[in-house]
Structure 1
């Protein structure tokens, strides 16, 4: 899909100026592009609230998108008009999407163990962190050495979904493998540094810390096996491992483990993390914090997975006395 128009490149510049993640940049540009195409390539400056309302209603009625998908499209267009074009859209009385999220797929503890046993060492550690710390796959692969605190058994997730930082727990059982992986990563960094190369660092921070690529703190825990060009600066560097590598490895492990009847992906382990914590009686607000959800309503979906609106609730049938 071609999006190299001067206007969209200008929007890209505004997104980067505000320090949004590359994933957010791609998502916003995608929806702005879809909006422009929907209206016959009319320039956004010649459109406004009515056109935005029409597009969002079309997504709900004709495309039958999920609620969250429509919200993302809305966020992209609000950014376009409010932040870039400096135009207030006012109240948008559009048709709300009615297609709801499906209940997330989760695994039993036994299934998690079966899958982990089928994974090679590095990939087992990554999936273990998704399950043991409730990480998204991108959050895990973006971990740097400075984000790991063995003393407090904590991981710091930086620029997570919604550009938020948060802390989550680190399983004691993952510590030995994680320490070993960090040693491997630092050896890669030392080798790269000998050639004037190091881990990729966000543009602004790269300027603030020009020698940052030599600091162990900035090294990715899970570095890529190949060098690349920095997306923003064009400098040769080493990025983190690509998520597709783990997804392919996981699918092989799921098949080898004989876990059938469930669609298992990397996010399934984050879902399982939340569900198993609630199942163990942990407070839903604590789980919300660990997952980084803005609204507890998002976390409450896991109580429905358990068949409980609130953790610990039992059916009255189970309380009957003979």
Structure 2
């Protein structure tokens, strides 16, 4: 991607990307979103032989998105992320209306989610301890995505209302989910650990956590308050790539993934080891318990109930409770069943 600086005049290219980066930050978007948007804008530029975005328009956007959906066989989600990045670039940054884009959408693959049975959940938890066990119990007990889990702040755990507040989840939406009563004692202990770690950071001249720009400007002292500290902080501090400030961020996602994979493997489970499977298991087991789709949709934060309906395909596997003809035949021949 660094070729952009060589083919487009360096001052023009570097200045453009840097201005876009600053615009994203001023809009209050997350660092992950900033990285993602910059990545796709650079790929868009490369696809069009390093032409400057200001010299391109709707035709080039449509050609690139069609390329992703047909020649690159990208998933629907990948194509949508690229679309979001380019719409931001042209509509919000360059102030040009993208209108109704006409491109060939990627084929939506309808795959059933990985779901662990209650017995498998118990076996996995038996291979975990400490903060990692608590994290998995929270994902399974609340339906949180791993990114939402790791982004939780101390103040997001509301013991009074028995709610967990999910801030700026997928789609930049807020929502609440239930607070599992069985996890309250361990959550209180975790908050106490965060409090002690934060006190130590303050003594060392640190203790200022990342806040979105708008909040940081409005509440400059909030970044050092306990309530804003991450519920699952990193074991080490690091340099914030945006500000250059040394801070303690939340635990890296790869750390959680590593412990989940190890636990699933040690439990002897042959299904894929995925943190997202605990969210799928949460929804599936609620559905099996008789909760309606609308309730589950709200807890998961799905914009469309159609997304939630995928879980109806994994409930009571083998025809959703329908007796297999093979089972009926076996019962008849052994004299244990009736027609």
> What CA distance in whole angstroms lies between the structure 1 residues aligned with 2:93 and 2:226?
38
Q: Which residue does 1:13 correspond to in 2? A: 22
Q: Secondary structure at the match of 1:63?
A: coil
Q: Which residue does 1:185 correspond to in 2? A: 194
Conserved 8 A contact 1:199-1:220: no
The alignment status of 1:221 with 2:231, answered yes or no, reads: yes
Conserved 8 A contact 2:209-2:224: no
The alignment status of 1:121 with 2:130, answered yes or no, reads: yes
The alignment status of 1:281 with 2:305, answered yes or no, reads: no
The alignment status of 1:76 with 2:60, answered yes or no, reads: no
> What CA distance in whole angstroms lies between the structure 2 residues aligned with 1:241 and 1:153?
24
Q: 1:313 to 1:111 in 2, by over 3 A?
A: closer
Q: Which residue does 1:29 correspond to in 2? A: 38
Q: Which residue does 1:95 correspond to in 2? A: 104
Shift of 1:164: 1.2
> What CA distance in whole angstroms lies between the structure 2 residues aligned with 1:307 and 1:46?
55
Deviations 1:103-148 (A, max 9, x none): 2111101101100110121100001111101111111111111100
Q: 1:226 to 1:76 in 2, by over 3 A?
A: same
Q: Which residue does 2:59 correspond to in 1? A: 50
Conserved 8 A contact 2:237-2:249: yes
Q: Which residue does 1:139 correspond to in 2? A: 148
The structure that has the greater radius of gyration is 2
Shift of 1:6: 2.2
Q: Which residue does 2:242 correspond to in 1? A: 232
1:127-166 residue pairs with structure 2 within 5 A? Answer: 127-166=136-175
- Match for residue 222 of structure 2 among 212, 222, 247: 212
Q: Secondary structure at the match of 1:264?
A: coil
Shift of 1:40: 0.5
* Gap regions ≥5 residues in structure 1: none
- Match for residue 254 of structure 2 among 231, 244, 250: 244
Aligned-pair Cα RMSD in Å? 2.2
> What CA distance in whole angstroms lies between the structure 2 residues aligned with 1:227 and 1:8?
28
Conserved 8 A contact 1:223-1:238: yes
Conserved 8 A contact 1:105-1:271: yes
Conserved 8 A contact 2:157-2:164: yes
Deviations 1:290-315 (A, max 9, x none): 1111111111111122279xxx9765
Query: Structure 1 stretch 3-12 or stretch 289-298: which is displaced more?
Result: 3-12
Q: Secondary structure at the match of 1:19?
A: coil
